[in-house]
């Protein structure tokens, strides 16, 4: 026997045998893939209160990514839409400032939210002014600049009947993470077109969310995806997170829950939701659902344990919404405070380190608006002026009164104070920045005439459905059942009833006038009411009014509990057949 030849064979085969053994061990192993979800950031480059902001969020991501690197796992970072509209520092660049931060944070995919359409064409016009303007120009520009895919499976190009195919926008993508093929699908709420300025969604339709997600997920599974994660601008609400299967604290008939139940069991692993700015960390139909409030205050997390041999998920751990705190969290909605001596926050066993590079990226956007935001309007709020959860509130009534006075001869102002007002007006000096936070939309004042009968129909529909979203000024409204029928009465300030045939000049905004929120549905003409693109912005009317009035602003100036603008005989929704 040739001993040298024998030894050469053994030495040559050993590496191959060792490789086979290692591969077999690897194939029988499991890995953890952490799915991190954010939603409804709304341009919040400045942290709110004691919450940490993007620089601190980067520290949480770094610690989690380090932990997964240590155990050979991975992280998928997703956003559920409404990323950049909502603050002056983001809006002035049509979301570019936020997109740069998202690129730096290394998002893997994001969904399109309804407010992604708010900027309309690229450039200063907020809606198209002629046929050369692309209604979705600003959105397409931001999408093309993203270093991650923008996903939407049910946003349809009406001209083709298929999902939109814009640069860097698709229905889904597959990405390999830690040896696991992960299919990522995007979606948008089926009500998106009703919550967006009509002119900016021209040429678009919304398909069934559940059908679109199901078909796309089945395609991804056939293409070898081991795990399917969905990021969709659709939501729900829960208030308790101690038991992921206990839905008693949830509004479990809301859109994201309906979506989960409509999907075949085992098809989708995780859904990241948003849109309604609430928390979810629950399991429905075997699917992990997460959503984490808004404005960068928290993130959602699901850890999936995946068997590499079979490619199947063998375990999932759903975390409650994780607050983004520089100092240790007091609870899910409250961060600690350095002044109070709270310790610095830790995550995954390590201290949270602020990403100063992110902070430096944000600074130019903040500097560009600093003077605008600090401009004093000559008035002082004695205490915080609040809004919601109902349309009538001190801040809601203030907006209604300003809109009414902005148009000489107007009889009624009507706006979506629920949804249209985005922040409280805090106590202290009233600045342009504070007003911008209250009303960040570039909505324009719009006027048209309606009869008393038409106004009653508008409010009857809201009261019977329970979707009461509009505040009012110029008249008071009462609603009561009479012999099985809902009777709605409009009364002028002097108590005189408004007759059915009486014509009233109504002041509203272009969003509602074009069909937004469905408020004018009973009376709106095809294509909406005419809108003057040169009309003043609602926000500018607010600023001008406050500057002229000056002095102090107190809740009692605009809200009188003893003389409400709306009076109901029973709680909403009103059912006169009960």
Q: What pLDDT, on the 0 to 100 scale, is given for residue 258?
A: 98
- Determine which helix (DSSP H) or strand (DSSP E) holds 20, and give its type and residue range: helix 3-27
Relative to beta strand 298-307, strand 312-323 is antiparallel
pLDDT surpassing 50 at residue 240: yes
Q: Tell me the pLDDT band of 10, cut-offs 50, 70 and 90.
A: very low
Least Cα distance to 60 among 334, 344, 294, 283 occurs for 344
Going from the C-alpha of 69 to that of each of 29, 63, 66, 251, 315, the distances in angstroms are 15, 10, 5, 37, 19
Residue 226 to residue 313: CA distance in whole angstroms:
8
Residue 82 to residue 234: CA distance in whole angstroms:
11
- Share of residues in the chain with pLDDT > 90 (%): 87
pLDDT surpassing 50 at residue 3: no
Q: Tell me the pLDDT band of 5, cut-offs 50, 70 and 90.
A: very low
Within 180-325, strands assigned E span 180-188, 204-206, 227-233, 270-272, 279-284, 287-292, 298-307, 312-323
Lowest-pLDDT range, 2-16, 237-251, 378-392? 2-16
Q: What pLDDT, on the 0 to 100 scale, is given for residue 66?
A: 98
pLDDT surpassing 90 at residue 332: no
Question: How confident is the model over 130-163, as pLDDT tens digits?
Answer: 889 999 999 999 999 999 999 999 999 999 999 9
Least Cα distance to 471 among 534, 412, 536, 400 occurs for 400
Residue 16 to residue 9: CA distance in whole angstroms:
11
Q: What pLDDT, on the 0 to 100 scale, is given for residue 329?
A: 87
Q: Please give the residue that has the higher pLDDT: either 52 or 250.
A: 250
Contact, 474 vs 411, CB < 8 A?
yes
Contact, 121 vs 91, CB < 8 A?
no
- What's the whole-number mean pLDDT along residues 157-176? 97
Residue 254 to residue 278: CA distance in whole angstroms:
12
Question: How confident is the model over 520-568, as pLDDT tens digits?
Answer: 999 999 888 998 988 999 999 999 999 999 999 999 999 999 999 999 9
Three-state SS at 479: strand
- In the numeric block, which tokens belong to residue 369? 């608006």
Least Cα distance to 489 among 465, 469, 459 occurs for 459
Residue 203 to residue 105: CA distance in whole angstroms:
33
Is the bond leading into 389 cis (omega within 30 degrees of zero)? yes
DSSP-assigned states of every residue in 525-539: PTT-S---TTSPBHH
Neighbours of 475 (CB within 10 A): 21
Residue 190 to residue 213: CA distance in whole angstroms:
12
Residue 39 to residue 111: CA distance in whole angstroms:
9
Q: What pLDDT, on the 0 to 100 scale, is given for residue 533?
A: 84
Least Cα distance to 291 among 4, 575, 16, 40 occurs for 40
Q: What pLDDT, on the 0 to 100 scale, is given for residue 528?
A: 87
- What's the whole-number mean pLDDT along residues 403-413? 97
- In the numeric block, which tokens belong to residue 156? 């349809």
- Share of residues in the chain with pLDDT > 70 (%): 95
**Helix, strand, coil in percent for the chain, rounding step 5:** 30, 30, 40
- In the numeric block, which tokens belong to residue 397? 């009534």
Q: 380-415 b/e with 16+ CB inside 10 Å = b?
A: ebeeebebeeebbbbbbbbbbbbbbbbbeebbbbbb
- In the numeric block, which tokens belong to residue 532? 């003057």
Write the CB contacts of 88 (distance below 8 Å, at least 6 apart in sequence). 369, 372, 373, 433, 436, 440
- In the numeric block, which tokens belong to residue 86? 């909502």
Q: Tell me the pLDDT band of 13, cut-offs 50, 70 and 90.
A: very low
Q: Tell me the pLDDT band of 28, cut-offs 50, 70 and 90.
A: low
Contact, 154 vs 193, CB < 8 A?
no
- Determine which helix (DSSP H) or strand (DSSP E) holds 78, and give its type and residue range: strand 74-79
Q: What pLDDT, on the 0 to 100 scale, is given for residue 26?
A: 47
Cα-Cα-Cα-Cα dihedral sign, residues 62, 68, 72, 73 = negative
Question: How confident is the model over 277-326, as pLDDT tens digits?
Answer: 999 999 999 999 999 999 999 999 999 999 999 999 999 999 999 999 99
Cα-Cα-Cα-Cα dihedral sign, residues 491, 497, 501, 503 = negative
Least Cα distance to 201 among 144, 137, 153 occurs for 137
Residue 42 to residue 200: CA distance in whole angstroms:
18
Contact, 292 vs 279, CB < 8 A?
yes
Contact, 209 vs 163, CB < 8 A?
no
Relative to beta strand 169-170, strand 150-151 is parallel
Q: What pLDDT, on the 0 to 100 scale, is given for residue 507?
A: 98
Contact, 287 vs 273, CB < 8 A?
no
- What's the whole-number mean pLDDT along residues 255-268? 98
The neighbouring-strand residues paired with 503 are: 451
Going from the C-alpha of 444 to that of each of 196, 209, 532, 537, the distances in angstroms are 14, 31, 8, 4
pLDDT surpassing 50 at residue 352: yes
Q: Tell me the pLDDT band of 331, cut-offs 50, 70 and 90.
A: confident
- What's the whole-number mean pLDDT along residues 442-454? 96
Residue 351 to residue 291: CA distance in whole angstroms:
25
- Supply angle C-alpha 42, 45, 48, rounded to 5: 85
Write the CB contacts of 361 (distance below 8 Å, at least 6 apart in sequence). 100, 101, 104
Domains belonging to the chain, first-starting first, are 31-124+133-364 (3.60.21.10), 376-568 (3.90.780.10)
pTM of the model: 0.89
DSSP-assigned states of every residue in 101-128: HHHHHT-SEEEPPGGGGTT-SSSS-SS-
Residue 28 to residue 345: CA distance in whole angstroms:
36
Q: What pLDDT, on the 0 to 100 scale, is given for residue 466?
A: 93
- What's the whole-number mean pLDDT along residues 102-130? 95
Q: What pLDDT, on the 0 to 100 scale, is given for residue 14?
A: 42
- In the numeric block, which tokens belong to residue 336? 């600690």
């Amino acid at each position: 026997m040739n001993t040298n030849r024998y030894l050469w064979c053994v030495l040559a085969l050993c590496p191959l045998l060792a490789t086979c053994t290692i591969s077999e061990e690897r194939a029988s192993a499991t890995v953890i893939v952490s799915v991190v979800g954010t939603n409804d950031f709304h341009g919040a480059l400045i942290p709110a209160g004691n919450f940490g902001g993007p620089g601190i969020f980067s520290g949480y991501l770094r610690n989690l990514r380090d932990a997964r690197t240590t155990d050979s796992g991975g992280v998928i970072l997703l956003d559920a839409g409404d990323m950049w509209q909502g603050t002056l520092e983001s809006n002035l660049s049509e979301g570019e400032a936020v997109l740069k931060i998202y690129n730096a944070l290394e998002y893997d995919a994001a969904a399109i939210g309804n407010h992604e359409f708010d900027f309309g064409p690229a450039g200063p016009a907020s809606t198209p002014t002629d046929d050369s303007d692309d209604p979705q120009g600003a959105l397409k520009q931001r999408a093309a600049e993203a270093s991650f895919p923008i996903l939407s499976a049910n946003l349809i190009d009406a001209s083709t009947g298929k999902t939109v195919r814009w640069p860097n926008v698709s229905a889904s993508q597959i990405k390999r993470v830690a040896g696991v093929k992960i299919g990522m699908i995007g979606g948008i709420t089926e009500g998106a077109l009703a919550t967006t300025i009509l002119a900016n969604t021209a040429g678009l339709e919304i398909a069934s969310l559940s059908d679109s997600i199901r078909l796309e997920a089945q395609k991804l599974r056939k293409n070898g995806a081991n795990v399917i994660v969905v990021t969709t601008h659709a939501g729900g609400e829960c208030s308790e997170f101690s038991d992921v299967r206990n839905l008693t604290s949830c509004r479990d008939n809301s859109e994201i829950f309906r979506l989960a139940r409509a999907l075949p069991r085992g098809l989708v692993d995780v859904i990241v939701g948003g849109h309604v700015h609430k928390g979810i960390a629950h399991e429905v139909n075997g699917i992990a659902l997460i959503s984490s409030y808004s404005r960068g205050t928290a993130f959602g997390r699901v850890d999936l344990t995946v068997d590499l041999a079979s490619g199947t998920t063998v375990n999932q751990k759903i975390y409650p919404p994780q607050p983004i705190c520089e100092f240790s969290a007091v609870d899910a909605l409250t961060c600690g405070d350095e002044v109070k001596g709270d310790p610095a926050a830790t995550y995954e066993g390590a201290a949270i380190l602020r990403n100063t590079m992110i902070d430096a990226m944000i600074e130019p956007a903040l500097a560009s608006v600093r003077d605008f935001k600090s401009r004093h309007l000559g008035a002082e709020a004695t205490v915080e002026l609040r809004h919601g959860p109902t349309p009538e509130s001190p801040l809601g009534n203030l907006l209604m009164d300003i809109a009414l006075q902005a148009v000489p001869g107007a009889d009624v102002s009507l706006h979506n104070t629920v949804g249209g007002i985005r922040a409280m007006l805090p106590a202290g000096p009233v600045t342009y920045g504070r007003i911008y936070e209250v009303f960040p939309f570039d909505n324009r004042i719009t006027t048209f005439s309606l009869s008393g009968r038409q106004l009653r129909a508008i409010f009857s529909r809201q009261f019977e459905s329970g979707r009461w979203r509009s505040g009012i000024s110029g008249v008071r409204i009462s609603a009561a059942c009479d012999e099985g029928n809902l009777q709605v009465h409009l009364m002028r300030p002097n108590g005189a009833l408004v007759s059915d045939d009486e014509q009233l000049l109504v002041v509203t905004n272009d969003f509602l006038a074009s069909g937004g929120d469905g408020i004018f549905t009973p009376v709106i003409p095809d294509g909406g009411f005419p809108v003057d693109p040169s009309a003043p912005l609602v926000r500018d009317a607010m600023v001008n009014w406050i500057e002229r009035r000056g002095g102090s602003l107190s809740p009692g100036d605009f809200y009188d509990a003893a003389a409400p603008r709306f009076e109901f005989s029973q709680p909403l929704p009103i059912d006169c057949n009960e």
